Amino acid sequence: MEYNLNDKVIMKKEHPCGNNEFEIIRLGADIKIKCTKCGHVIMLPRVDFNKKIKKVIINEKEKN
């Protein structure tokens, strides 16, 4: 699955606030995502992120 910085993604498991939509704010060996509802930031290793991502809903490259 292809994703870039500032893309909105849906994760398989929802955040405790009840939302499962996140924004990618950092890419690298670790990926940092921010909950779009409460603003909580989560950092995951890329391997774990790739297992837990469901789909990319807004792709910044396609948007521009």
Does 2 map to a domain?
A: no
Does 1 map to a domain?
A: no
Per residue in 35-49, pLDDT tens? Answer: 999 999 999 999 999
Burial of 29 (0-12, 13-18, 19+ CB in 10 A): exposed
Stretch 21-44: mean pLDDT: 96
Q: 33 to each of 24, 52, how far by Cα in Å?
A: 4, 12
CB 35 within 8 A of CB 17: yes
Q: What percent of the chain has pLDDT over 70?
A: 92
Does 50 map to a domain?
A: yes
Domain assignment of residue 23, given as a range = 8-63
Count of structural domains within the chain: 1
The pLDDT value given to residue 59: 74
Does 35 map to a domain?
A: yes
CATH code, 24: 2.30.30
- What does pTM read for this prediction? 0.86
Per residue in 47-60, pLDDT tens? Answer: 999 999 999 997 76
